[in-house]
Chains A and B, each alone.
Chain A
Amino acid sequence: MEHLVLFSIIGAVLSADITMFGQFMISRPIFCGPLFGYFLGDIHTGLWLGMIVEMMWVNAIPMGVSVPVDLTMMTSLAVIWSCSLFQGSQEAAIFALALAVPFAYLYKEVDLAGRLFNTKIMHWVEKGVEQGKEKRISQGIYLGLLFFFIRTSIMYGLLLFLGGLLYKEMYSYLPIQVIIALKKSWYYLPVFGFGAVLYNFKNIKIPFIKKQND
């Protein structure tokens, strides 16, 4: 965990891609998982966890006012914990993911509060424009980004550190049956993911046939 600050900053930059800036998909688990895995010398675990999250949460996208769970944080926490504390252990990686899921949902609440705070900045910009202070438009945008970056980096730092301690402690007390089950889950979870992905195709239409029918 010696790169805690660096990983918190990288994590915040990746999470910003979800809604705040760009949407280049660098926030998707299939990219950020192996990225952190590569930094920690275990790209395999990163890729595997990223693949599981990508498939199971295939429909989690920020549409309209819906705020989805931060999959970037979920994957990043799991990969960083498992690769830095129990590198190469499949069961430890799955346990890290099981622990990262509630933390990601916890972060969603923080994110919601942050977006509510954005409303206050928006009103401040609005008043500024009414008074002829046009610079507030750019300032509002940069403030929005800055507050997002600060709150997300702090959350990454806290969760990486405190969650990491919790993860290490809990993992050492797991009974052997649970360890065996976690090892099995390493192979079973992608299959659950495949099922979740295929469910999306249940209403698929073949365009050429449809054209003929028309």
Chain B
Amino acid sequence: MIKNFIFLRTFFLQALWNFERLQNIGFLYILYPVFKSLYKDKEQRKQALLRHIGFFNTNPYMINIIVAMVINSENNIACGKEQNIKKPEMIKSVMAGPVAAIGDSFFWGTWRPFVSFVSILMIILSMNMFSVSLFWIAPIIFIVLYNVVHLSFRYWSLVISFRLNEKMIKLISKLEIKFIGDIFRIIGLIIITLAIFFYFKTFGLVPVIDMELHKLVYPDIFIYGTIFLISFLLGRIRPVIMFYFALIFSFILGYLGI
């Protein structure tokens, strides 16, 4: 029951995100009900809360691992099994960076783009093969697919971290997140390549010669290919510059009558 309560509270981790100590109050908010039951004495509870008021930052999807380990450690301190009252702070400072790197690279760098690519492929396939009335499927797939993995991981990581405690570090290192990420990136590349293929198939193939006008008409596939190459080469620049460059490029093409 308390695990479910903590699980719900972890969604508020960044509700008071600030530039000075980032997620500190969010972290306190998650721990507060646990501290209330662990430390009945108000002064002891105050000291425990003050231990966790400092700077804290991690990936919000990975917070459950740290929360469970800190609660286990605080539990040991409250029961007198652990004498080192700085241990929970050590856990936080040691764990926050590495788990954040895993969360950032897997969830935000791999899983979210991957699910986006699946949805983009669905949109383009809806135009190419299926009915336009199936458009609504793409955003539904995006949100369901993303959250099935995300929420399952968050809940699993909380429950398993409570049980394994410090052994969780070993488990994370065995998960081979990078390897899984690489596989998803390759599948993502295949999916986006398919999306490009179907996009070009739908919009990029017009006759090379306009017979009525007796003149050479630039095939769209050539124009699309050029745009594609330019955007790939300019991939490093900021998206906003890319966006307005794309608009200006379209104006030039429109002005030239291409």
Chain A residues close to B by CB (< 8 Å): 19-26, 28, 30-31, 33-35, 38, 43-44, 47-48, 50-51, 54-61, 63-65, 69, 94, 98, 101, 105, 115-116, 118-119, 121-122, 125-126, 129-130, 132, 134, 137-138, 140-145, 148, 177-178, 180-182, 184-185, 187-202, 204-207, 210
Contact = CB atoms under 8 A, between A and B. Distances in A.
B239 interface: yes
A194 B228 contact: yes
A94 B228 CA distance: 19
B139 A196 contact: no
A195 B235 contact: yes
A38 B140 CA distance: 13
A24 B147 contact: yes
Contacts of A200: 113, 235
B49 A134 contact: yes
Interface string B170-201: 00000000010011011011001001100100
B25 interface: yes
B254 A180 contact: yes
B26 A141 contact: yes
A181 B247 contact: yes
Nearest to A55: B120
B136 A28 contact: no
Contact of B235 (A54, A57, A199): A199
Contact of A184 (B195, B234, B250): B250
Q: Pick from B26, B229, B231, B251 the residue with the most CB of A within 10 Å.
A: B231
B138 interface: yes
Contacts of A188: 223-224, 227, 246, 249-250, 253
Contact of B117 (A134, A178, A197): A197
